[in-house]
Amino acid sequence: MVTSPGCHRQRVASGTRHSGSVLQWKRKFGWIEPDESLDHPEAFKNNWRIYVNVLDVSSGVLYSGARVSFFVYSDGKGLGAEDVQLEGKKNVMSGKGAWAPRGQIPTKFHIQRSINKEGNLRLSTLRGGKKGGKAKGKGMQPRQMGADSTFVCTTPQGPDRQKQTESGDSSVLSWASSEMRGWRPAMEDATCVHTQLEDPLENYALFGVFDGHGGSVVSRYAARELPKRFQACAREPMLDAQDTANFPGTILSTALVTLDEALRRDGEGEPGFLHVAGGGKPIESSVRNSFGLMGSTAIVALVECDGPPETSTPLRVTVANLGDSRAVICRGGEAVPLSEDHKPDLPSERARIEEAGGSVGVVGPCARIDGWGLNLSRALGDFHYKAREDLAASQQKVSSMPDINILQVTPEDEFLFLGCDGIFELNSNQDVVDKIRAGLHQGRSLEEIVEDLVDASCSTDLVETGGLGGDNVTAMVILLQPDEGALGR
């Protein structure tokens, strides 16, 4: 064990090696986010991250997103990692995040933090809220490295249908979400829920789904940091909380753009890689940023109520969208889309990409930026595609400026749905609405309904479905009416 001079360490859970992913690496030190958070008095001191010094790296060269194994020590300042070893890569196929020729196939890395104490998830810790509703973890286990791809790494065991399901109940606004890895080697989705925001947002509730590519570092970062930036942006003097028509959309846009700027600063100066399978040499981005070839979609909904969300009636829904995750509202049984997928071949997106010096090419079933890269045209991270210093965030090949859609809630608006694109490979918007309404009509709990939906979004036979239904799946339902029994009729 390598130790720094004068450093007093005590190994935690002696003899047990842990696994995780490098959240950030600054040449000589960095942070690891463990697959499973440790129940230790010092764990909270660094926001459940594990500090690592280059002197404690016993094998391999670390970089942001790398999978590692390690022992954990405490030193009074928080938890640290020692005897850190770089884990090997798995052989998976290319897809959604980026494309590479055969022999240069990208592998992606994942961070999944599951806090499991005496069988219960501590929702306020996991989601960052003051306090949460009910939560339950089903079959949670450490996630493995993998790829978010159009093609998937199949195993004789089939898909992993173990779920992480959480929910919150109130007299009016109730919600539930469920996440499932499915056929993917790793889970790269993340979610956030905040129903108790502070002034001037005390009458709002925030919900978000984030679908990572190139790893889960950006999606997990966004789920953790966006609520803080959202709250901070709302207090900026130039934003008028009394301007009810524009205020919600403005703060959502500002929060997402400033979050992207913070990601750029955090990754500045570090190499960004497209990791390849089979131990091949990673492809390095020409932009020196650890998030150069790593990013995440974002679908975020702000529900405005006539008082505190836990006891008040929803009045308006504001949705911000980056990428191809979706928001759908059920209005009298009809699916009303509140977002449009941001794909490179959309005329408006193609025009921006080309004006920024890029191009759009078709690879297999997907239109991709520059003929090899992302099949998304808006996202957090992905600074390889945001390299023009003379252009604003909204003018880059990949934009961090979300589309905003605002809907006044009517008595016909039954529920709001947020989901990653994996939900919609086997389901249309209307399919999703119909399945949720059917579950409500049958008197099933909201947790059971979202779990049924993610199951229905995962293929039982990828050959029969042509590869569809092989993605990670995350579903979130927010009820907008107090009388659940009136729904689904």
Which CATH code is given to the segment(s) 10-86?
2.40.50.140
Assigned token pair, 86: 């770089």
Asked if the model's pLDDT at residue 107 lies above 50, the reply is no
Looking at residue 483, its pLDDT comes to 61
Fold of 106-486: Phosphatase 2c; domain 1 (3.60.40)
Return residue ranges of the chain for CATH 2.40.50.140. Answer: 10-86
How far, in Å, CA of 330 to CA of 413, rounded? 6
- Residue-wise DSSP of 187-253: --EEEEEES-PPTT-TTEEEEEEEEEESBSHHHHHHHHHHHHHHHHHHT-TTS-TT-TTTHHHHHHH
Return residue ranges of the chain for CATH 3.60.40.10. Answer: 106-486
Looking at residue 274, its pLDDT comes to 67
Looking at residue 104, its pLDDT comes to 29
* Mean pLDDT, rounded, for 479-483: 81
Highest mean pLDDT among 38-47, 177-186, 271-280, 297-306: 297-306
Asked if the model's pLDDT at residue 362 lies above 80, the reply is yes
Q: What confidence tier does 82 reach under pLDDT thresholds 50, 70, 90? A: very high
229 to 126, 235, 257, 348: CA distances (angstroms): 17, 10, 10, 29
Looking at residue 146, its pLDDT comes to 27
Looking at residue 380, its pLDDT comes to 97
How far, in Å, CA of 306 to CA of 292, rounded? 42
Looking at residue 441, its pLDDT comes to 94
Please choose, from the candidates 448, 447, 468, the residue with its C-alpha nearest in 3D space to the C-alpha of residue 458: 468
Looking at residue 157, its pLDDT comes to 66
Roughly how many angstroms between the first and final C-alpha of the chain, as a whole number?
65
Looking at residue 479, its pLDDT comes to 95
Asked if the model's pLDDT at residue 153 lies above 70, the reply is no
Please choose, from the candidates 319, 291, 289, 317, the residue with its C-alpha nearest in 3D space to the C-alpha of residue 304: 317
pLDDT in tens, 11-64: 887 678 999 888 878 778 888 988 887 778 888 777 778 999 988 998 878 877
pLDDT in tens, 162-183: 899 999 987 778 999 999 988 8
Using omega within 30 degrees of 0 as the cis cutoff, is the peptide bond preceding 200 cis?
yes
* Mean pLDDT, rounded, for 298-316: 93
Q: Whole-prediction pTM value? A: 0.71
* Mean pLDDT, rounded, for 253-262: 95
Cβ-contact 311, 284 below 8 angstroms: no
Looking at residue 93, its pLDDT comes to 29
Q: Which residue has the tokens 């660094």?
A: 46
Report the 10 Å Cβ neighbour count for 106: 26
Q: What confidence tier does 128 reach under pLDDT thresholds 50, 70, 90? A: very low
* Mean pLDDT, rounded, for 142-150: 28
pLDDT in tens, 321-356: 999 999 999 999 999 999 999 999 999 999 999 999
Looking at residue 90, its pLDDT comes to 34
As a whole-number percent, the residues of the chain with pLDDT over 90 amount to 50
Q: What confidence tier does 424 reach under pLDDT thresholds 50, 70, 90? A: very high
How far, in Å, CA of 205 to CA of 328, rounded? 17
Asked if the model's pLDDT at residue 260 lies above 60, the reply is yes
pLDDT in tens, 427-475: 999 999 999 999 999 999 999 999 999 999 999 988 888 889 988 999 9
